[in-house]
Structure 1
Amino acid sequence: MKSEREVLTVDKVLGCVLAGGQSRRMGGGDKSLLDLGGKTMLEMILSRFAPQVPSVILNANGDPERFSRFGLPVISDPVGDYAGPLAGVLAGLSYARERLPDVTHVVSVAGDTPFFPVSLVKRLCSSVPADKPVIALASSSDKLHPVFGLWPVALHSDLHDWLTTGQSGKVLAFVDRHDSVEVSFDSDPVTGLDPFFNANKPDDLATVRNALSSRLS
Protein backbone atom coordinates (compact mmCIF):
# COMPACT_ATOMS: atom_id res chain seq x y z
CA MET A 1 0.00 0.00 0.00
CA LYS A 2 1.46 3.33 -1.04
CA SER A 3 1.80 6.03 1.61
CA GLU A 4 0.19 9.38 1.05
CA ARG A 5 2.37 12.18 -0.31
CA GLU A 6 3.95 14.28 2.43
CA VAL A 7 2.25 17.68 2.39
CA LEU A 8 4.30 20.87 2.38
CA THR A 9 3.14 23.01 5.30
CA VAL A 10 3.14 26.79 5.37
CA ASP A 11 5.39 26.93 8.43
CA LYS A 12 8.23 25.77 6.16
CA VAL A 13 7.76 28.74 3.81
CA LEU A 14 9.29 32.23 3.68
CA GLY A 15 7.51 35.01 1.80
CA CYS A 16 9.57 37.27 -0.46
CA VAL A 17 8.23 40.43 -2.14
CA LEU A 18 10.21 41.17 -5.31
CA ALA A 19 10.67 44.92 -5.60
CA GLY A 20 14.19 45.07 -6.98
CA GLY A 21 13.43 46.32 -10.49
CA GLN A 22 14.09 49.78 -11.90
CA SER A 23 10.46 50.55 -12.87
CA ARG A 24 11.49 52.01 -16.22
CA ARG A 25 7.98 51.94 -17.69
CA MET A 26 6.71 53.83 -14.65
CA GLY A 27 9.40 56.49 -15.03
CA GLY A 28 11.79 55.09 -12.44
CA GLY A 29 11.67 54.96 -8.66
CA ASP A 30 9.86 52.48 -6.44
CA LYS A 31 6.49 51.36 -7.79
CA SER A 32 5.80 49.64 -4.50
CA LEU A 33 5.89 52.98 -2.65
CA LEU A 34 3.40 54.76 -4.93
CA ASP A 35 0.24 55.99 -3.23
CA LEU A 36 -2.98 54.34 -4.32
CA GLY A 37 -5.44 56.39 -2.33
CA GLY A 38 -4.16 56.43 1.23
CA LYS A 39 -2.07 53.27 1.01
CA THR A 40 1.08 52.40 -0.86
CA MET A 41 1.21 49.47 -3.24
CA LEU A 42 3.48 47.67 -0.80
CA GLU A 43 1.01 48.13 2.05
CA MET A 44 -1.70 46.56 -0.07
CA ILE A 45 0.55 43.66 -1.01
CA LEU A 46 1.59 43.01 2.57
CA SER A 47 -2.01 43.09 3.78
CA ARG A 48 -2.68 40.14 1.46
CA PHE A 49 0.65 38.37 1.83
CA ALA A 50 1.58 38.62 5.50
CA PRO A 51 -1.41 36.55 6.75
CA GLN A 52 -0.41 33.74 4.37
CA VAL A 53 3.16 33.14 5.59
CA PRO A 54 5.01 33.09 8.93
CA SER A 55 7.47 35.79 7.83
CA VAL A 56 8.16 38.11 4.92
CA ILE A 57 11.30 39.70 3.49
CA LEU A 58 11.58 42.40 0.85
CA ASN A 59 13.95 42.11 -2.08
CA ALA A 60 14.98 45.63 -3.12
CA ASN A 61 18.16 47.33 -4.26
CA GLY A 62 19.57 50.67 -3.13
CA ASP A 63 19.17 52.32 0.27
CA PRO A 64 17.04 50.01 2.46
CA GLU A 65 16.08 52.89 4.76
CA ARG A 66 13.32 53.99 2.39
CA PHE A 67 11.43 50.85 3.45
CA SER A 68 12.12 51.19 7.17
CA ARG A 69 8.48 51.97 8.05
CA PHE A 70 7.50 48.40 7.11
CA GLY A 71 9.81 46.72 9.60
CA LEU A 72 10.92 44.04 7.13
CA PRO A 73 14.37 42.66 6.35
CA VAL A 74 15.43 44.27 3.05
CA ILE A 75 17.67 42.03 0.96
CA SER A 76 19.36 43.24 -2.21
CA ASP A 77 20.10 41.13 -5.28
CA PRO A 78 23.10 38.92 -4.43
CA VAL A 79 24.29 38.80 -8.05
CA GLY A 80 24.35 41.09 -11.07
CA ASP A 81 23.19 44.64 -11.53
CA TYR A 82 19.38 44.63 -11.50
CA ALA A 83 19.51 41.08 -12.85
CA GLY A 84 15.75 40.56 -12.89
CA PRO A 85 13.32 38.52 -10.81
CA LEU A 86 15.52 35.43 -10.66
CA ALA A 87 18.08 37.46 -8.72
CA GLY A 88 15.32 38.36 -6.28
CA VAL A 89 14.34 34.71 -5.94
CA LEU A 90 17.99 33.91 -5.24
CA ALA A 91 18.00 36.63 -2.56
CA GLY A 92 15.09 34.88 -0.85
CA LEU A 93 16.66 31.43 -1.14
CA SER A 94 19.97 32.76 0.23
CA TYR A 95 18.26 34.42 3.20
CA ALA A 96 16.35 31.24 4.03
CA ARG A 97 19.40 29.00 3.71
CA GLU A 98 21.61 31.22 5.84
CA ARG A 99 19.17 32.33 8.54
CA LEU A 100 16.11 30.09 8.60
CA PRO A 101 17.21 26.45 8.72
CA ASP A 102 13.64 25.16 9.12
CA VAL A 103 12.45 26.88 5.93
CA THR A 104 12.43 24.61 2.87
CA HIS A 105 10.67 26.87 0.33
CA VAL A 106 10.33 30.53 -0.62
CA VAL A 107 7.16 32.02 -2.12
CA SER A 108 7.81 35.03 -4.34
CA VAL A 109 5.27 37.73 -5.23
CA ALA A 110 5.67 40.82 -7.39
CA GLY A 111 5.87 44.23 -5.75
CA ASP A 112 3.45 45.78 -8.25
CA THR A 113 0.52 43.33 -8.16
CA PRO A 114 -1.94 44.37 -5.44
CA PHE A 115 -4.80 41.91 -6.06
CA PHE A 116 -3.04 38.52 -6.05
CA PRO A 117 -5.03 35.70 -4.44
CA VAL A 118 -5.32 35.40 -0.67
CA SER A 119 -5.14 31.63 -1.24
CA LEU A 120 -1.87 31.86 -3.19
CA VAL A 121 0.51 30.29 -0.68
CA LYS A 122 -1.86 27.56 0.49
CA ARG A 123 -2.60 26.41 -3.04
CA LEU A 124 1.01 26.53 -4.21
CA CYS A 125 2.07 24.51 -1.19
CA SER A 126 -0.62 21.89 -1.73
CA SER A 127 0.51 21.39 -5.34
CA VAL A 128 4.03 20.09 -4.62
CA PRO A 129 5.57 17.28 -2.59
CA ALA A 130 7.37 18.35 0.57
CA ASP A 131 10.28 15.98 0.01
CA LYS A 132 11.17 16.74 -3.62
CA PRO A 133 12.40 19.99 -5.24
CA VAL A 134 9.42 20.87 -7.42
CA ILE A 135 8.75 24.49 -8.46
CA ALA A 136 5.14 25.70 -8.49
CA LEU A 137 4.12 28.67 -10.65
CA ALA A 138 0.83 30.57 -10.64
CA SER A 139 -1.30 31.08 -13.74
CA SER A 140 -4.57 32.72 -14.75
CA SER A 141 -6.51 32.74 -18.01
CA ASP A 142 -4.06 30.20 -19.45
CA LYS A 143 -1.10 32.52 -18.84
CA LEU A 144 1.80 31.77 -16.54
CA HIS A 145 2.94 34.36 -14.00
CA PRO A 146 6.41 33.06 -13.13
CA VAL A 147 7.21 35.82 -10.64
CA PHE A 148 4.53 34.25 -8.43
CA GLY A 149 6.24 31.01 -7.55
CA LEU A 150 7.11 28.51 -4.86
CA TRP A 151 10.85 27.82 -4.90
CA PRO A 152 12.65 24.99 -3.06
CA VAL A 153 15.65 26.19 -1.08
CA ALA A 154 17.40 23.06 -2.37
CA LEU A 155 17.70 24.80 -5.76
CA HIS A 156 19.80 27.64 -4.33
CA SER A 157 23.17 26.44 -5.62
CA ASP A 158 21.87 25.67 -9.09
CA LEU A 159 20.20 29.07 -9.38
CA HIS A 160 23.33 30.83 -8.11
CA ASP A 161 25.47 29.01 -10.68
CA TRP A 162 22.91 29.71 -13.39
CA LEU A 163 22.98 33.46 -12.78
CA THR A 164 26.71 33.83 -12.19
CA THR A 165 27.67 31.98 -15.38
CA GLY A 166 25.76 34.34 -17.65
CA GLN A 167 22.75 32.15 -18.40
CA SER A 168 19.37 33.62 -19.35
CA GLY A 169 17.75 35.82 -16.73
CA LYS A 170 14.30 34.72 -17.89
CA VAL A 171 12.48 32.86 -15.15
CA LEU A 172 11.10 30.11 -17.37
CA ALA A 173 14.52 29.33 -18.83
CA PHE A 174 15.64 28.32 -15.34
CA VAL A 175 12.36 26.63 -14.44
CA ASP A 176 12.65 24.39 -17.49
CA ARG A 177 15.70 22.76 -15.89
CA HIS A 178 13.59 21.38 -13.05
CA ASP A 179 10.32 19.64 -12.27
CA SER A 180 7.50 22.16 -12.03
CA VAL A 181 3.72 22.43 -11.78
CA GLU A 182 1.24 25.12 -12.76
CA VAL A 183 -1.51 26.28 -10.40
CA SER A 184 -4.42 28.16 -11.97
CA PHE A 185 -6.33 30.98 -10.26
CA ASP A 186 -9.62 32.70 -11.13
CA SER A 187 -10.24 36.44 -11.49
CA ASP A 188 -10.28 38.54 -8.34
CA PRO A 189 -13.83 38.15 -6.99
CA VAL A 190 -14.10 41.76 -5.81
CA THR A 191 -12.55 43.77 -8.65
CA GLY A 192 -13.11 41.34 -11.52
CA LEU A 193 -9.52 41.94 -12.59
CA ASP A 194 -7.01 39.26 -13.40
CA PRO A 195 -5.58 38.42 -9.95
CA PHE A 196 -2.08 39.01 -11.27
CA PHE A 197 -2.79 42.38 -12.87
CA ASN A 198 0.39 44.39 -12.39
CA ALA A 199 0.89 48.12 -12.47
CA ASN A 200 3.69 48.60 -14.98
CA LYS A 201 2.67 51.95 -16.48
CA PRO A 202 0.95 55.12 -15.21
CA ASP A 203 -2.29 54.04 -16.91
CA ASP A 204 -2.22 50.85 -14.88
CA LEU A 205 -2.25 52.91 -11.68
CA ALA A 206 -5.54 54.45 -12.79
CA THR A 207 -6.95 50.94 -13.24
CA VAL A 208 -5.89 49.99 -9.72
CA ARG A 209 -7.32 53.17 -8.22
CA ASN A 210 -10.60 52.69 -10.06
CA ALA A 211 -10.81 49.11 -8.81
CA LEU A 212 -10.22 50.30 -5.26
CA SER A 213 -12.87 52.99 -5.59
CA SER A 214 -15.44 50.48 -6.82
CA ARG A 215 -14.52 48.15 -3.96
CA LEU A 216 -15.27 50.91 -1.43
CA SER A 217 -18.46 52.19 -3.07
Structure 2
Amino acid sequence: MSSCAVILAGGQASRMGGGDKGRLMLGGRSLIDRVIERISPQVGAIVLSANGDLTRFDDLGLPVVADSIPDHAGPLAGILAGMDWASEHGHDWLITVAADTPFFPMDMVERLSGYDNPVVLAATPDPEFGMRRQPTFGRWHVEQRHDLRSALNMGVRKIRQWAEAQDEVLVVFDNADFFNINTPEDLAWAEQHLA
Protein backbone atom coordinates (compact mmCIF):
# COMPACT_ATOMS: atom_id res chain seq x y z
CA MET A 1 0.00 0.00 0.00
CA SER A 2 1.92 3.01 -1.24
CA SER A 3 1.50 6.46 0.18
CA CYS A 4 2.35 9.94 -1.00
CA ALA A 5 2.35 13.24 0.83
CA VAL A 6 0.74 16.55 0.08
CA ILE A 7 2.28 19.69 1.55
CA LEU A 8 -0.57 22.11 2.28
CA ALA A 9 0.64 25.54 1.18
CA GLY A 10 -2.59 27.16 0.04
CA GLY A 11 -3.21 29.42 3.04
CA GLN A 12 -3.33 33.18 2.73
CA ALA A 13 -0.89 33.89 5.63
CA SER A 14 -2.91 36.89 6.77
CA ARG A 15 -1.21 37.04 10.21
CA MET A 16 2.20 37.21 8.51
CA GLY A 17 1.12 39.99 6.17
CA GLY A 18 0.27 37.71 3.23
CA GLY A 19 2.43 35.74 0.83
CA ASP A 20 3.69 32.16 1.07
CA LYS A 21 4.53 31.26 4.65
CA GLY A 22 6.51 28.30 3.42
CA ARG A 23 9.02 30.73 1.90
CA LEU A 24 9.86 32.30 5.27
CA MET A 25 13.44 31.69 6.27
CA LEU A 26 14.34 29.74 9.40
CA GLY A 27 17.99 29.18 10.21
CA GLY A 28 19.01 30.12 6.68
CA ARG A 29 16.55 27.75 4.95
CA SER A 30 12.93 28.16 3.94
CA LEU A 31 10.20 26.48 5.97
CA ILE A 32 9.04 24.54 2.94
CA ASP A 33 12.55 23.20 2.28
CA ARG A 34 12.63 21.97 5.88
CA VAL A 35 9.20 20.33 5.47
CA ILE A 36 10.29 18.62 2.23
CA GLU A 37 13.45 17.35 3.92
CA ARG A 38 11.43 15.83 6.78
CA ILE A 39 8.69 14.18 4.75
CA SER A 40 10.76 12.92 1.79
CA PRO A 41 12.22 9.83 3.52
CA GLN A 42 8.78 8.87 4.85
CA VAL A 43 6.78 8.61 1.59
CA GLY A 44 7.06 7.50 -2.01
CA ALA A 45 6.07 10.82 -3.62
CA ILE A 46 5.31 14.45 -2.71
CA VAL A 47 2.89 16.93 -4.24
CA LEU A 48 2.33 20.55 -3.23
CA SER A 49 -1.16 22.00 -2.74
CA ALA A 50 -1.31 25.72 -3.50
CA ASN A 51 -3.45 28.35 -5.19
CA GLY A 52 -2.75 31.35 -7.39
CA ASP A 53 0.18 31.31 -9.82
CA LEU A 54 1.50 27.77 -9.40
CA THR A 55 4.68 28.50 -11.38
CA ARG A 56 6.06 30.36 -8.35
CA PHE A 57 6.92 26.93 -6.93
CA ASP A 58 8.77 25.66 -10.02
CA ASP A 59 12.10 25.86 -8.19
CA LEU A 60 10.99 23.11 -5.77
CA GLY A 61 10.78 20.50 -8.51
CA LEU A 62 7.48 19.13 -7.18
CA PRO A 63 4.12 18.67 -8.90
CA VAL A 64 1.70 21.38 -7.75
CA VAL A 65 -2.08 21.02 -7.56
CA ALA A 66 -4.68 23.74 -7.03
CA ASP A 67 -8.00 23.45 -5.22
CA SER A 68 -10.86 22.13 -7.33
CA ILE A 69 -13.29 23.78 -4.87
CA PRO A 70 -13.53 27.58 -5.43
CA ASP A 71 -13.16 30.54 -3.07
CA HIS A 72 -10.35 29.39 -0.76
CA ALA A 73 -12.27 26.54 0.87
CA GLY A 74 -9.41 25.90 3.32
CA PRO A 75 -7.17 22.93 4.05
CA LEU A 76 -9.91 20.37 3.35
CA ALA A 77 -9.86 21.51 -0.28
CA GLY A 78 -6.09 21.05 -0.33
CA ILE A 79 -6.50 17.55 1.10
CA LEU A 80 -9.01 16.77 -1.65
CA ALA A 81 -6.61 18.05 -4.32
CA GLY A 82 -3.92 15.82 -2.84
CA MET A 83 -6.26 12.81 -2.74
CA ASP A 84 -7.19 13.31 -6.40
CA TRP A 85 -3.52 13.50 -7.39
CA ALA A 86 -2.66 10.46 -5.26
CA SER A 87 -5.46 8.43 -6.84
CA GLU A 88 -4.36 9.40 -10.37
CA HIS A 89 -0.82 8.24 -9.57
CA GLY A 90 -1.73 4.90 -8.02
CA HIS A 91 -1.37 5.69 -4.32
CA ASP A 92 -3.76 4.23 -1.75
CA TRP A 93 -2.97 6.64 1.08
CA LEU A 94 -2.33 10.35 1.37
CA ILE A 95 -0.21 11.88 4.12
CA THR A 96 -0.83 15.56 4.85
CA VAL A 97 1.67 18.03 6.28
CA ALA A 98 1.60 21.82 6.58
CA ALA A 99 4.15 24.11 4.92
CA ASP A 100 4.42 26.27 8.07
CA THR A 101 5.21 23.47 10.58
CA PRO A 102 8.89 22.51 10.28
CA PHE A 103 9.46 20.27 13.33
CA PHE A 104 7.06 17.34 12.81
CA PRO A 105 8.55 13.93 13.66
CA MET A 106 10.74 11.93 11.31
CA ASP A 107 8.71 8.81 12.19
CA MET A 108 5.31 10.45 11.84
CA VAL A 109 4.14 8.42 8.83
CA GLU A 110 5.17 5.15 10.47
CA ARG A 111 3.22 6.02 13.60
CA LEU A 112 0.13 7.12 11.66
CA SER A 113 0.26 3.96 9.55
CA GLY A 114 -0.44 1.59 12.44
CA TYR A 115 -4.20 1.78 11.83
CA ASP A 116 -6.52 0.75 9.01
CA ASN A 117 -9.08 3.49 9.70
CA PRO A 118 -9.73 5.73 6.69
CA VAL A 119 -8.63 8.83 8.62
CA VAL A 120 -5.81 8.90 11.18
CA LEU A 121 -4.89 12.29 12.63
CA ALA A 122 -2.00 13.46 14.75
CA ALA A 123 -2.97 14.88 18.13
CA THR A 124 -1.16 16.46 21.08
CA PRO A 125 -1.93 16.57 24.81
CA ASP A 126 -4.02 19.52 25.91
CA PRO A 127 -4.46 20.32 29.63
CA GLU A 128 -7.93 21.78 29.05
CA PHE A 129 -9.43 19.44 26.45
CA GLY A 130 -7.40 16.27 27.05
CA MET A 131 -6.30 16.05 23.44
CA ARG A 132 -5.99 18.53 20.59
CA ARG A 133 -6.13 17.41 16.95
CA GLN A 134 -3.40 18.56 14.60
CA PRO A 135 -5.79 18.43 11.65
CA THR A 136 -3.35 19.22 8.85
CA PHE A 137 -1.19 16.23 9.85
CA GLY A 138 -2.84 12.96 9.02
CA ARG A 139 -3.20 9.84 6.92
CA TRP A 140 -6.21 9.62 4.61
CA HIS A 141 -7.42 6.77 2.43
CA VAL A 142 -7.84 8.19 -1.07
CA GLU A 143 -11.15 6.36 -1.54
CA GLN A 144 -12.62 8.91 0.88
CA ARG A 145 -12.18 11.63 -1.74
CA HIS A 146 -15.69 11.18 -3.12
CA ASP A 147 -17.24 11.70 0.31
CA LEU A 148 -14.93 14.66 0.94
CA ARG A 149 -15.84 16.30 -2.36
CA SER A 150 -19.55 15.96 -1.52
CA ALA A 151 -18.99 17.42 1.95
CA LEU A 152 -17.05 20.39 0.57
CA ASN A 153 -19.74 21.03 -2.03
CA MET A 154 -22.29 21.07 0.80
CA GLY A 155 -20.29 23.71 2.66
CA VAL A 156 -18.23 21.66 5.15
CA ARG A 157 -14.98 23.52 5.86
CA LYS A 158 -13.71 22.16 9.19
CA ILE A 159 -11.37 19.18 9.06
CA ARG A 160 -12.59 18.02 12.47
CA GLN A 161 -16.22 18.01 11.35
CA TRP A 162 -15.50 15.80 8.35
CA ALA A 163 -12.88 13.57 9.99
CA GLU A 164 -15.12 12.67 12.93
CA ALA A 165 -17.65 11.25 10.47
CA GLN A 166 -14.96 9.03 8.92
CA ASP A 167 -14.25 6.84 11.97
CA GLU A 168 -11.05 8.78 12.67
CA VAL A 169 -8.30 7.61 14.99
CA LEU A 170 -6.04 10.03 16.89
CA VAL A 171 -2.35 9.29 17.45
CA VAL A 172 -0.71 11.28 20.24
CA PHE A 173 2.59 13.10 19.69
CA ASP A 174 4.54 15.71 21.71
CA ASN A 175 3.31 19.30 21.67
CA ALA A 176 6.55 20.72 20.26
CA ASP A 177 6.33 18.44 17.20
CA PHE A 178 3.57 20.50 15.61
CA PHE A 179 4.56 24.08 16.37
CA ASN A 180 3.28 26.07 13.41
CA ILE A 181 4.44 29.51 12.43
CA ASN A 182 1.60 32.00 12.13
CA THR A 183 3.13 35.26 13.38
CA PRO A 184 6.53 36.99 13.46
CA GLU A 185 6.71 36.04 17.16
CA ASP A 186 6.27 32.37 16.23
CA LEU A 187 9.12 32.64 13.75
CA ALA A 188 11.34 34.19 16.43
CA TRP A 189 10.47 31.32 18.80
CA ALA A 190 11.31 28.79 16.08
CA GLU A 191 14.70 30.43 15.54
CA GLN A 192 15.44 30.03 19.27
CA HIS A 193 14.18 26.41 19.24
CA LEU A 194 16.39 25.62 16.26
CA ALA A 195 19.41 27.09 18.01
Q: Normalization by structure 2: what TM-score?
A: 0.94
Q: Deviations over 1:103-122 (max 9, x none)?
A: 11100011100000111101
CA distance in 1, matches of 2:70, 2:164: 21
In 1, the alpha carbon distance for the partners of 2:59 and 2:42 equals 21
The ranges of structure 1 where at least 4 consecutive aligned residues each deviate by more than 2 angstroms after the TM superposition are: none
Give secondary structure in 2 for the equivalent of 1:195. helix
What is the aligned partner in structure 1 of residue 183 from structure 2? Answer: 201
Task: Indicate which of 133, 136, 140 corresponds to 1:147.
Answer: 136
Matches within 5 A, 1:146-165: 146-165=135-154
Residue in 2 that maps onto 1:23: 13
The two structures, once aligned, show a CA RMSD in angstroms of 1.1
State the partner residue of 1:121.
109
- Residue by residue over 1:42-75, the C-alpha shift from the partner in whole angstroms, topping out at 9 and shown as x without a partner, is 0111111111111100001111222111100011
1:1-217 matched pairs, under 5 angstroms: 9=1, 12-98=2-88, 100-101=89-90, 103-126=91-114, 128-129=115-116, 134-141=118-125, 142-166=131-155, 168-187=156-175, 194-213=176-195
Which 5+ residue runs of structure 1 have no aligned equivalent?
A: 1-8, 188-193
Shift of 1:146: 1.1
TM-score by length of 1: 0.84
Amino acid at match of 2:39: F
More strand by share: 2
Displacement of 1:37 in angstroms is: 2.7
**Structure 1: which amino acid aligns with 2:121?**
L
C-alpha separation between the residues in 2 aligned to 1:97 and 1:28?
Answer: 31
What residue identity is the alignment partner of 1:203? E
1-side partners of 2:18 and 2:182: how far apart? 11
Q: Please tell me whether the aligned partners of residues 118 and 144 of structure 2 are also in contact (alpha carbons under 8 angstroms).
A: no
In 2: Cα distance, 1:40 partner to 1:66 partner: 14
Secondary structure at the aligned position of 2:37 is classed as helix
Counterpart Cα distance in 2 of 1:97 and 1:48: 23
Q: Which amino acid aligns with 1:26?
A: M
SS of the residue corresponding to residue 35 of structure 2 reads: helix
Amino acid at match of 1:201: T
